[in-house]
Structure 1
Amino acid sequence: MIKIDKDFTELLNKGGIALLIRIAGFIAGYLFIFYTVKLFGAETQGRLNLSFSFMMIGALICRLGLDIHFVKIYSIPGNFHDSKGIYYKVLPYVLLLTFLVSGCIFLFSGQISTHVFNDPELNIFLKWVSPCVIFFTFILLNASVFRGLKKNSLYAFLFNGGRFIFTLIFFFGIIIFYKNPLVTIIAHTLAIFVLFLISLRYIFKYNYPFVRKSTYTTRKFVKQSLPMLVSTSMIIFLGWSDTIVLGIFKDSSDVGIYGVVLKISVVTSFTFQALDSILAPKLSNAYHADDMSLFKKLVKFSTILNSIISILVVTGIIIFKDLILSIFGDEFFKASTALIILCLGQLFNAICGPVGSILQMTGRQVVFRNILTIAFLINIVLNFLLAPTYGINGVAVATAISLAFWNLSSVIYISKKIY
């Protein structure tokens, strides 16, 4: 039996707040999807999903893995001065990279839409999402600082909740005057910009005063962050490669339908992600303090809690899947099997525990990178093999198998090398 001491109480309390924020964002996201589908059809939702994938991948490249590294160094006691010093030193390089990537998406949106996805109407969506690469990159970098400083509610709002809460607000505000499918992407871009401003407000508050002196050198810090970039890249690619490959072989309507069931399945990992935002810096603290007893207790406590809640959620989704899908329309019933497959994949992820945080917070980021790279290759091969014939169900199988592989591989490594 695990004693509920101060660390576990904080994990539950702050994790609970993060979970509530995530739930609010999730509900807003679903309302946004619901009204998008009802007013403009699954095709528009598909174009949104594809444009979001470019924003996610673009912001990922521009972060260079620095966000994960910031969580690690900001959570170390007595390391605040060095941490904020290197934060300000790397900003100019990140800013330059964001303008380059954003500019490329804007300039080549027509070619991407026509020659890759065979959907010219996707062009304007990509143009609107291109500046989001700049804003979203800095939102996530700043959120990682707050996560390291244990400002968990702020981190949860920037990372999970705020994006679709503001999107929904702008959506309802604009649609009164302009009822066009572009309302969806315009509202999203405005929401990202507002979140960017909020993140700047708080980064100046918590990172004050401004300094550029640090024992960390820029070159070495970025070099140490790159393995984390690869690890995070693989996670993002695993999350979005199915959408992109499906968009290549199928029409935007199928992409939109798949995007909805994928979002439903993510409910399974709600508790996992909420607790992990607080757990990662605690694991880093315990490991660097050589307190492996606390380290193991934290992992066990979070894994048991996540498993119980995830099993209940998956059971509920499977039992009521037809009712859930009927909310969006009859055309979504064709994704019923895919929803079950994706939920089972997410359940396996929850049961395996916070393997990513364990490996990255204990300096095993290269190992995690290698595992995820193999999982990504498996995912890509399976997607291209299954998507042309099996469509939505095919990419769901590819995603679930690759998710199971990297979690199981990580568990085996941790049990042998860390435990």
Structure 2
Amino acid sequence: MLGFLGGYLFIYFVVKYFGAETQGRLSLSFSVMILSSLVCRLGIDTHFVKVFALEDNINNARGIYFKLLPYLFLATLLVSAGIFFTADLISEAIFHDPELTPFLKWTAPCVMLFSFVLLHAAIFRGLRMNSLYAFLFNGGRFLFSLIFFFALLWAVDINEPIAAAMAHTAAVLALVLISLVYLRKTVFPVVKESIYRTRHFVKQSLPMLLSASLIVFLGWADSIILGIFKDSAEVGIYSVLIKVAAVVSFAMQATDSILAPKIAAAYATDQIALFKKMIRFTVVVNTVVALGLFLGILLFKNFILGLFGEEFIPFAWALIILAAGQLVNAILGPVSAMFQMTGYQIYWQNILFIAFVVNVILNLSLVQSYGIYGVATATAVSVVLSKLIGAYYIRKKVWQP
């Protein structure tokens, strides 16, 4: 709840103070950060959840973390530096917006910082420290961004759009420091011995990287393609629609953070009855909450968008299209977690690849003629497609093997 509230308030005040165009540039810089961070992590964070969740495996899990640490540090450092020094090229050649450059430069360090936030969050998730995981993964970033945003505006008197990007970088740095404090309590002292070999561990992580990459590409392809073909103001409006629509799947995101390590442990120990019981309960919770939130958005769509500004209201039905996609996403349940935690991640990877191809084709086909409505439709269709196919294969491979 803190994550959602902080995220909405941060977007709200960025739009109110500096307009949709600034929010669009911020959103595009976040897309570069998230995609780059994803590549740097190589799927290792998802693998950490599994190895830290296993009983009596803490020393082996610690050992592989410390073995991988130098490589992860070097990779994230190089990518962060690369984005910083090529910010002008990315801004002008890809997004055709020279004013995006300072946003990219301020966001570049976040590739390294955000990568370690998510790696450490995955460890805490595996250790079932769910509140800390949720705060690092979702709650803290925009909550701290909001605090630093107003600190820069009022205390430091930086009344420029770039203050939003500066605040976000400061927030991610704060999360890294918090994660290190808790990491010292749970993972230290340094252990170098482990049954996991570095190369083999990374090789096993790669299918998870591909699945995670496709999920992120599905989530950001619309904004990136919109940014290439339209101006930053439209990207800003669309980012607000996406954020509001995501409320519908709020319960799924909240329960998924708790569910993944639990179903991994239950499936690994052949407790199939417990495994199914947890999934059924999660689906019921997701469905009830998602239906209520979807109806709320449907009834009050104009009022909600009017809070951000009159220019958002004409896109109310694009919001409903996105929210409908999230409703189906929530009702069909934690498909991704089930694939990832039961060893069937390769199936999920293939399903996501199909959905990603459909997403890109639809986005490219619809964006120039229909703009925001086109990319909203493409996103909703690809989300629903991936979950329907995923649910079918989960039932076939896991539920009724």
Shorter-chain TM range is over 0.9
TM-score between the two structures when normalised by the length of structure 1: 0.94
Between the aligned partners of 1:280 and 1:178, the Cα distance in structure 2 is 42
Letter aligned with residue 312 of structure 2: F
Structure 1 residue 368 and structure 2 residue 363: aligned?
no
Between the aligned partners of 1:417 and 1:174, the Cα distance in structure 2 is 52
Deviation, structure 1 residue 25 = 2.2
Deviation, structure 1 residue 333 = 1.1
Corresponding residue number in structure 2 for 1:343: 323
2:295 to 315, 322, 331: 315
Which runs of structure 2 are paired with 1:115-134 in the superposition (5 Å)? 115-134=93-112
Which runs of structure 2 are paired with 1:73-112 in the superposition (5 Å)? 73-112=51-90
Which runs of structure 2 are paired with 1:184-263 in the superposition (5 Å)? 184-263=164-243
CA offsets, 1:313-360, max 9 Å, x none?
A: 000011000000000111001221110000000011111111111111
Corresponding residue number in structure 1 for 2:286: 306
Corresponding residue number in structure 2 for 1:333: 313
Unaligned runs of 5+ in 2: none
Deviation, structure 1 residue 227 = 0.2
Letter aligned with residue 3 of structure 2: G
Between the aligned partners of 1:149 and 1:46, the Cα distance in structure 2 is 37
CA offsets, 1:280-305, max 9 Å, x none?
A: 01101110110111111111110011
Corresponding residue number in structure 1 for 2:304: 324
CA offsets, 1:212-234, max 9 Å, x none?
A: 11000000000000000000000
Structure 1 residue 45 and structure 2 residue 23: aligned?
yes
SS in 2 for 1:332: helix
More displaced 10-residue stretch of structure 1: 100-109 or 336-345: 100-109
Structure 1 residue 69 and structure 2 residue 68: aligned?
no
Between the aligned partners of 2:60 and 2:2, the Cα distance in structure 1 is 35
RMSD (Å) for aligned C-alpha atoms: 0.7
SS in 1 for 2:104: helix
SS in 2 for 1:320: helix
Corresponding residue number in structure 1 for 2:129: 151
Deviation, structure 1 residue 91 = 1.1
Structure 1 residue 353 and structure 2 residue 355: aligned?
no
Between the aligned partners of 1:305 and 1:162, the Cα distance in structure 2 is 24
Between the aligned partners of 2:244 and 2:371, the Cα distance in structure 1 is 18
Structure 1 residue 392 and structure 2 residue 398: aligned?
no
Between the aligned partners of 1:51 and 1:310, the Cα distance in structure 2 is 30
SS in 1 for 2:98: coil
Unaligned runs of 5+ in 1: 1-22
Structure 1 residue 278 and structure 2 residue 258: aligned?
yes
More displaced 10-residue stretch of structure 1: 343-352 or 27-36: 27-36
Structure 1 residue 163 and structure 2 residue 141: aligned?
yes
Deviation, structure 1 residue 107 = 1.3
Letter aligned with residue 226 of structure 1: L
SS in 1 for 2:159: coil
Aligned residues: 397
Structure 1 residue 24 and structure 2 residue 2: aligned?
yes
Between the aligned partners of 1:87 and 1:52, the Cα distance in structure 2 is 26
Letter aligned with residue 83 of structure 1: A
Between the aligned partners of 1:184 and 1:313, the Cα distance in structure 2 is 29
Letter aligned with residue 9 of structure 2: L
Deviation, structure 1 residue 197 = 0.7
Between the aligned partners of 2:75 and 2:298, the Cα distance in structure 1 is 43
Corresponding residue number in structure 2 for 1:9: none
Deviation, structure 1 residue 200 = 1.1
Structure 1 residue 56 and structure 2 residue 51: aligned?
no
Deviation, structure 1 residue 208 = 2.0
Deviation, structure 1 residue 204 = 1.3
Corresponding residue number in structure 2 for 1:19: none
Letter aligned with residue 389 of structure 2: S
SS in 2 for 1:296: helix
Identity %: 54
CA offsets, 1:62-89, max 9 Å, x none?
A: 1100111010111111111101110111
TM-score between the two structures when normalised by the length of structure 2: 0.98
